A and B are shown apart, each in its own frame.
Chain A
Amino acid sequence: MGESLQDREVLAQTDSSNEFKILPDVILVGIGGHSIFDRGRAALLPLAEELSTARSQKHKMLLGVGGGTRVRHTLAIALDLGLPTGGIAQLVGAMEECNAVFLNALLAKHGSIVMQREHFWELPLYLSTGMLPIVISIPPYHFWEPPPEDGALPSHGSDFGLFIHAEVLGMKRIIFVKDEDGLYDRDPKKHADARFIPRTTLEALLADMPAELILDRQLFACWKDARHVEEVQIVNGLKPGMLLRALAGEPVGTIITKETRRG
Chain B
Amino acid sequence: MVERRVIPSTLANLPLTGGETLPYEGVAMMPSVKVIKVGGQSIMDRGRAALFPLLQEIRTIKDQHRLLLTAGGGTRARHVYSVASELELPTGLLAALGGYVPRQNARMLQMLLAEDGGIYIMTDDFEKLPLYFRLGCIPVMTGMPPFGYWEKPSAEGRIPANRTDAGTFLSAEALGSTRVWFAKDEEGLYEDDPKKNPAAKLIRRIGAKELISRGLKDLIIERSALEYLTRSRYVREIQVFNALVPGNLTRALAGEAVGTIIYQD
Q: Which A residues are within 8 Å of any B CB, using their own CB? A: 1-16, 18-20, 22, 34, 38-40, 42-43, 69-70, 72-73, 75-77, 79-87, 120, 139-153, 155, 157, 159, 161, 164-165, 167-168, 170, 179, 187, 212-218, 222, 225-228, 238, 262
Contact = CB atoms under 8 A, between A and B. Distances in A.
Q: Can you list the 5 inter-chain pairs with the closest CB atoms, starting with the nearest? A: A168-B92, A11-B157, A217-B18, A76-B9, A86-B174
Contacts of A153: 16, 18, 20, 22
A5 B94 CA distance: 13
B218 A8 contact: yes
Given A5-B163, A143-B126, A167-B92, A157 B16 contact: yes
Contact of B2 (A6, A43, A228): A43
Interface string B96-113: 100000000000000000
Contacts of B167: 144
Nearest to B16: A72
A20 B14 CA distance: 39
A86 B11 CA distance: 19
B202 interface: no
A62 B25 CA distance: 39
A75 B159 contact: no
A64 B11 CA distance: 22
A84 B27 contact: yes
Given A157-B18, A213-B15, A11 B150 contact: no
A79 B90 CA distance: 35
A111 to B, nearest CB: 23
Contact of B26 (A12, A69, A152, A212): A152
Contacts of B222: 5-6
B152 interface: yes
Nearest to B124: A142
Interface residues on B, range: 35 or more
Contact of B12 (A7, A69, A144, A187): A69
Contacts of A11: 154, 156-157, 159
Interface in B1-41: 1-7, 9-12, 14-29, 41
B18 A164 contact: no
Interface string B234-265: 10000000000000000000000000000000
Given A8-B217, A147-B228, A85 B153 contact: no
12 contacts: A20-B88, A38-B5, A69-B4, A73-B9, A77-B9, A81-B27, A86-B174, A141-B146, A151-B20, A155-B18, A167-B92, A216-B17
A213 B17 contact: yes
A11 B79 CA distance: 14
B41 A167 contact: no
Contacts of B119: none
Given A150-B20, A150-B21, A75 B145 contact: no
B158 interface: yes
A1 B171 contact: no
B179 to A, nearest CB: 16
A165 B147 CA distance: 11
Nearest to A76: B9
A41 to B, nearest CB: 9
B90 A170 contact: yes
Given A1-B75, A141-B147, A144-B147, A69 B6 contact: yes
B1 A19 contact: no
A217 B123 contact: no
A83 B27 contact: yes
B4 A151 contact: no
B103 to A, nearest CB: 14
Contacts of A15: 156-158
Given A6-B223, A20-B88, A86-B174, A147 B19 contact: no
B7 A147 contact: no
Contact of A20 (B15, B89, B163, B193): B89
B218 A6 contact: yes
B120 interface: no
